[in-house]
Chain A
Amino acid sequence: MSSPKTERRFVGKSVPRKEGRDKVTGAARYVDDIRFPEMLYGATVRTTSPRGRIKEIIFGENVPWDEFTIVTAKDIPGENYVALILNDQPYLVEEFFNHTEEPVLLLAHEDKFLVEKARRSIRFEIEEFSPVFTIEDSVNKREIIWGEDNVFKSFLVDKGNVDEVWESADVIVEGEYLTGAQEQLYIENNGMIAIANHEDGVTVWGSMQCPYYVHKALIKLFNLPEEKVRVVQTETGGGFGGKEEYPSMIAGHAALLSWKSGRPVKIIYDRAEDMAATTKRHPSHTRHRTAVSRDGKLLGMEIDFTVDGGAYATLSAVVLSRGTIHAAGPYLCPNVRIRSRAVATNAPPHGAFRGFGAPQSIFGLERHMDKIAKTLGLSPEEFRRRNFIQEGQTTATQQVIHEKVDLSGLMDRAFELSGYNEKREKFAEQNKSSRLKKGIGFASFMHGAGFTGSGEKYLESVVGAEATEQGNVRILAASTEIGQGTNTIFGQIASEALGIDYNLIEVAKPDTSNVPNSGPTVASRTCMIVGKLVESAALGLKQTLVGSGFLKDSGYTSEDFSNACRAYIEKHGALKSFSKYQQPEGINWDDEHYRGDAYGAYAWAVYVAEVTVDPTVYEAHVDDFVAVQEVGRVINPVLATGQIEGGVAQGIGYTLYENVVWRDGRMANNQMTNYIIPTSADIPPIRVFFAENPYAYGPAGAKGIGELPMDGAAPAILSAIENATGVSINHIPLVPESLMEELETETI
């Protein structure tokens, strides 16, 4: 039925999504679509002020409290922390609390309406402590709210000697850049169902990115052996980082209620709760001081990067790490010093969101590069071209780039597709007489794929492949399908490696009782890192079949392969092959000095945005967008294009619409009516182009892709706005009221 493997048959083809049919017919089952008999509904009672001590919990009247299951910190069988990195975030407040919306107690009842009424009836008598809400106050230690100095983590990257450049530099340019919080706003809210008891242990089903993060956290919470904890991912309605760490919290809460009540418990957040209580992108503050020569060469960069981590450490150290490493961008500079820190404030902890610190530091850098170019009297593109990193040169962490990187080529292509040069001229002319101002701008950047530094080595991810009785091959991985196409690309990678039909590859549902720990579904690592393991696990399966004489080494058909699987199973019972991550040769990372090979591979990109600014209503609209990138080999062009379009759409929101309004450390606009994300009418044509340069250690040559598109939109759009208005703006979100302030200040 199919020919032997002679050329690539599945990689590089846009095969349809494995779960596509279920998603268009309504058959796909998300967590809230699942119900168990005797199930109770759980709710979380949360703090209503930012920092203090709970003196008393006051239960409201007219609630039949004896019918409720009520869980407090005292009911926790194991450790009262969400196991992650520093383990400082409690599952439930014991006495002291550090942010609004912090969980204090849990309620469950079979009547959903009554649970909500009960939740609203509870009040706290509290002693208030003085809170800290801004990066500035935290850094200046207005109050010490975490550890000894409010600092979760700090890094120093030091290359060359930046202290020596200032005196001899022709030009020194300084700048300050700010980015705001951003809500992930997956359309499916967070939710979990748990069944937990002493005999069987704990099982949870839910919406998540990282089953083994939840697994690890529940083991600690219940003090159970790992085989007594089972985590199953249900169809997940978007994550974007927002379902990386917080699902561990919700799973624990549902499980605690089930443990106490002896019944299944479902907790589904409503939109307002999800927006106010769960994580958002870290707000950031970047300072640049840069020495350049008159001919436009970077001589020294001093970068100070700070992110607001919220009240607990959670993932801030790793977000900071990625932001730090990306802060000097894809440019060659002999002397670089980056100091960075993640600091505490009394807001709900900020967390993972696509890009993970990089969009923040890249925003600062790219705005600053425009500013330097302007100071030197060079065009922004010419200044970039003079400094783009080349093969054989070193990044800020002194990683030697061993791949053929051609940012100038990507820029040429992006400018050609967008008509950049002609439009620069045309708009300059038109804007003189037109009320609406048009502009075009760009950003050039890179994004590292996989965990930073030694991260992948410590993770030791494992993927399995097993033959099924039907003669199919089933991939066993903990990587979740959250819309980005995991199931489909794993199928393509495995079918390509084995030379068998795509439809013969099944991808197991992530369930910790059935799949090995292939690490979290984050960091643009699923395709490049886990995909490579899929490839080698599949090849291991074939090797066994060949070695045991059931299959010829080559020249077999899909049918031959299926027959061999069936025959092997008949004789030996089962056939499984596992593959564990091994770091490619030559990757060296010095964690102490933050020096060396920060990432196995980088994706490189140049994005161009075209805008119209309406100076009457102070509104900027993106009219056209061109995204050119090199991501190694593209496994599935349609899915890859979708990843870029989606990231750009979220980037447009981040830049122009999405404004988290903070009131006493709480999100005040926690509704979809007043936290505005782009609609179909706000998104321009997004033209996506891939330059392909296969990566030796990626599956079929692929690198990571998911986060990259989040990095480029904001600086490209602000560059375009500067081109349209002549005003350089250094902060996002740039909602109309902010744009008004900027434009008015300029004209006064």
Chain B
Amino acid sequence: MSETNSGGREFADRTVPVILQINGIKHELQLEPRVSLLDALREYVGLTGTKKGCNQGACGACTVLVDNERINSCFALAVQYQDREITTIEGVAHSDQLHALQAAFIECDGFQCGYCTPGQICSAIAMFEEFKQGAPSAVTEHLAETEIEFSEAEIKERMSGNLCRCGAYVGIVEAIREAFDKEAAR
């Protein structure tokens, strides 16, 4: 799995050392600066759980967490993310114990084909962090509101960057509520 992609030979002499901290493990890579974080994860580290859907930041399938914030990894260069804590879908569960959201996705049927699912799950974890920190969304009525309700409209709006063509949105929203409602109510 760790077999190295030869990358672009015309740029082979322009590779740079890149150290990435992924799911708690340090990876020392030799990459061309143009390699995206997504390609670094999939092609160079062998973590294929993160998916490539559009490679232009439009579908959200490649969402990973960087220092607990969500980013589209296809839109990021790997070299920009040295010394940051990167979490992919492979790092969401604690060994055999699924993250509450992963379990809720199964229970609420928050997916069909499963291809957007790693991105949905990573995105929702960070989305909830944003919510807890009081970040408003486009549907939040009063931006100065201190108590935003963890409503269906808020979840749908905050998750609208992660496309699901199977149309499992109803299950996705249910799974998010199932996993986070209690904590949101606190």
Residues of chain A at the chain B interface (Cβ within 8 Å): 14, 16-17, 19-30, 32-33, 35, 37, 110-114, 117, 184-189, 235-240, 270-271, 482-485, 638-639, 641-642, 645-650, 671-673, 677-683, 685-686
Cβ contact within 8 Å between A186 and B113: yes
Interface residues of B in 122-152 (CB under 8 A from A): none
Cβ contact within 8 Å between A187 and B105: no
Assuming the contacts A188-B53, A649-B169, A650-B167, asked whether A26 and B160 have C-beta atoms less than 8 A apart, the reply is no
Question: What's the least CB distance linking A145 to chain B, in Å?
Answer: 32
In whole angstroms, how far apart are the Cα atoms of A482 and B113 in the complex? 5
Q: Please name the 3 residue pairs, one residue from A and one from B, whose CB atoms are nearest each other, closest first.
A: A26-B49, A649-B167, A237-B115
Size category of the binding interface on chain B: 35 or more
Cβ contact within 8 Å between A237 and B51: yes
B8 within 8 A of A: yes
In whole angstroms, how far apart are the Cα atoms of A359 and B93 in the complex? 42
Cβ contact within 8 Å between B173 and A114: no
Cβ contact within 8 Å between A646 and B59: no
Interface residues of B in 28-69 (CB under 8 A from A): 42, 47-56, 58-59, 61
In whole angstroms, how far apart are the Cα atoms of A671 and B105 in the complex? 28
Question: What's the least CB distance linking A487 to chain B, in Å?
Answer: 12
Question: What's the least CB distance linking A214 to chain B, in Å?
Answer: 19
Contacting residues, chain A, for B11 (C-beta < 8 A): 113
Interface residues of B in 88-124 (CB under 8 A from A): 88-90, 92-93, 98, 102-103, 105-107, 109, 111-118, 121
Closest A residue to B6 using CB positions: A111
Partner of A236, one of B98, B113, B163, B167: B113
Question: What's the least CB distance linking B86 to chain A, in Å?
Answer: 14
Cβ contact within 8 Å between B51 and A187: yes
Cβ contact within 8 Å between B111 and A23: yes
Partner of A483, one of B7, B98, B113, B156: B113
Closest B residue to A185 using CB positions: B165
Question: What's the least CB distance linking A673 to chain B, in Å?
Answer: 5
Cβ contact within 8 Å between B168 and A187: no
In whole angstroms, how far apart are the Cα atoms of A238 and B114 in the complex? 8
Cβ contact within 8 Å between B48 and A29: yes
Question: What's the least CB distance linking B34 to chain A, in Å?
Answer: 9
Assuming the contacts A111-B6, A673-B58, A677-B165, asked whether A25 and B48 have C-beta atoms less than 8 A apart, the reply is no
Interface residues of B in 1-31 (CB under 8 A from A): 1, 3, 5-11
Assuming the contacts A113-B7, A186-B115, asked whether A25 and B169 have C-beta atoms less than 8 A apart, the reply is no
Contacting residues, chain B, for A20 (C-beta < 8 A): 105-106, 111
In whole angstroms, how far apart are the Cα atoms of A483 and B42 in the complex? 23
Cβ contact within 8 Å between A26 and B118: yes
In whole angstroms, how far apart are the Cα atoms of A681 and B105 in the complex? 19
Cβ contact within 8 Å between B162 and A680: yes
Partner of B165, one of A112, A113, A240, A639: A240
Contacting residues, chain B, for A238 (C-beta < 8 A): 112-113, 115, 165-166
In whole angstroms, how far apart are the Cα atoms of A21 and B166 in the complex? 18
Closest B residue to A647 using CB positions: B167
